[in-house]
Amino acid sequence: MNKEVIEHFRQVIESNSRFVLTCHTNPDGDALGSTLGLRQVLLNMGKEAQVITPDLAPTFYSWINGYKTIKAYEREQEACDVIIDNADVIIMMDFNSLDRVKSMAEKIKSVNKTKILIDHHIDPSIDVDVFFSNPEEPATCSYVYQILKEAGYEKYISLDAATNFYAGIMTDTGGLSYNSSNPMIYYIVAQLLEMGIDKMKVHEKIFNNKHMRQLKLLGFTLGCRMRRIAKKPLTIMALSAADLDRFNYNTGDSEGFVNYPLQARDVVANVLILERPDCIKLSIRSKGEFPVNEFAARYFGGGGHLNAAGGTYHGALEDAVKIYENNIVRFYEEWLALQNK
């Protein structure tokens, strides 16, 4: 890790007292774990720190330490603007473009504040003062943990903060089932366990904490909406607004659904497409070396990681499905040809 950047980070932390932390829209466990975990560290240092999410954080993650303190910009814009205006530093975590923070983007660009980016996605495009970007990191939570250790702030990582970091690592790696080949992630997990985190409690909250309606939606998705594409090892699951309404869908209810088809021995990649009020959302997962992040960036203005990516489409659900199907087959065949050379 670059020592000059670490020292700059230290100087910013030491010389300021009021911090705003933010993450991408529809925040996942890594986004919430990293922002709320770092918030707790800053509070332990005697700083003021507020997490502001672009939109409402899914209630699925309401058990994460500090969840109730979050302010949603789309719900409390005036109050959030005041907090941002009064802050010394804005820390942006787990996103690589201001497009990922919706209406907060203009506010962040307009204020003259010291800005820090901590992210693990490819091709970051945000102008900041302190820049941490490493696409090789499995999760932003593992990254910020290492940054804090390098900066000499390990003593401020309380049990609540450590638990949040662990939760983010587990959600962004599917319980260490993907994006987790680097041995360092296991050292980090071991260190968090040594701090006393309740591993079983976190796993129960992440993986065994679904409502009955979610299980019914999962059954419907797998039984009625999953299908193979062009006889290839590719599957698709598309849920319309009507489908979601039928099961009283709440944000976060489909968490993890996209991974299920990958349990089939002959499936290399799967997509979950959701018709939401503001856009069509795509979550794509793969196995092996099939780079769904490249596909998401090329065709749906998204990105992510080798085996876990996402994107959006503004238009009809049917059109998004057609675009996905037509291009994923071509993309897969081109990738396969390169592997066979």
Q: What is the pLDDT of residue 226?
A: 98
Backbone angles phi, psi at 66, to 5 degrees: 95, 0
CA atoms of 278 and 89, how far apart (whole Å)? 30
Are the C-beta atoms of residues 119 and 132 closer than 8 Å to each other?
A: yes
- Ramachandran bin of 72, using left for φ above 0, alpha for ψ from -120 to 50, beta for the remaining angles: beta
**pLDDT, tens digit (0-9, with 9 covering 90-100), for 223-247:** 999 999 999 999 999 999 999 999 9
Options 3.40.640.10, 3.50.50.60, 3.10.310.30, 3.30.9.10; CATH for 212-339 is 3.10.310.30
Task: Give the pLDDT band of residue 177 (cuts 50, 70, 90).
Answer: confident
Q: What is the pLDDT of residue 157?
A: 98
Residue 311, C-beta contacts closer than 8 angstroms, at least 6 positions apart? 281, 282, 284, 296, 297, 299, 300, 301, 302, 303
User: In the prediction, which pLDDT does 303 show?
Assistant: 84
- The residue-averaged pLDDT of 8-36 equals 97
Among residues 138, 167, 128, the alpha carbon closest in space to that of 27 is found at 167
Max CA separation in the chain (angstroms): 59
The answer to whether 244 and 274 have CB atoms below 8 angstroms apart is yes
- Mean pLDDT, range 11-20, rounded to an integer: 98
Structure tokens at 15: 């010389």
CA–CA gap between residue 231 and residue 234 (Å, rounded): 8
* pLDDT for the residue numbered 35: 98
pLDDT at 181: 87
The pairing of beta strand 308-313 with beta strand 303-304: antiparallel
pLDDT tens per residue, range 62-110: 999 999 999 999 999 999 999 999 999 999 999 999 988 989 999 999 9
Flag whether pLDDT at 112 surpasses 90.
yes
| DSSP-assigned beta bridge partners for residue 72 | 53
pLDDT of residue 340: 83
CB 269 within 8 A of CB 328: yes
Check pLDDT > 80 for residue 341. no
Residue showing tokens 């003593």: 155
Q: What is the pLDDT of residues 123-162, one digit of tens each?
A: 889 999 999 999 999 999 999 999 999 999 999 999 999 9
CA atoms of 318 and 320, how far apart (whole Å) = 5
Percent above pLDDT 90 for the chain: 87
Count of C-beta atoms within a 10 Å radius of residue 4: 7
Residue bearing tokens 């994923």: 328
Using only C-alpha atoms, the chain has a radius of gyration, in whole angstroms, of: 20
Please give the average per-residue pLDDT across 113-130, as a whole number: 94
**CA gap 53, 71 in Å, rounded:** 6
Confidence class for position 122, pLDDT limits 50, 70, 90: confident
Cβ neighbours of 137 (radius 10 Å): 25
Q: How do strand 130-133 and strand 18-22 relate by DSSP bridges? A: unpaired
Sequence ranges of the domains in the chain: 3-207, 212-339
| pLDDT computed for residue 251 by the predictor | 85
Topology of domain 3-207, CATH = inorganic pyrophosphatase (n-terminal core) (3.90.1640)
Q: Tell me, what amino acid is at 295?
A: F
Does the global pTM surpass 0.75?
yes
pLDDT tens-place string over residues 25-40: 989 999 999 999 999 9
Answer for the pair 84, 93: CB distance below 8 angstroms, yes or no. no
- Sorting pLDDT into bands at 50, 70 and 90, what band is 252? confident
Q: Is the pLDDT of residue 179 over 90?
A: no
In terms of DSSP bridges, do strands 130-133 and 48-53 run parallel, antiparallel, or are they unpaired?
A: unpaired
**DSSP label of 181:** -
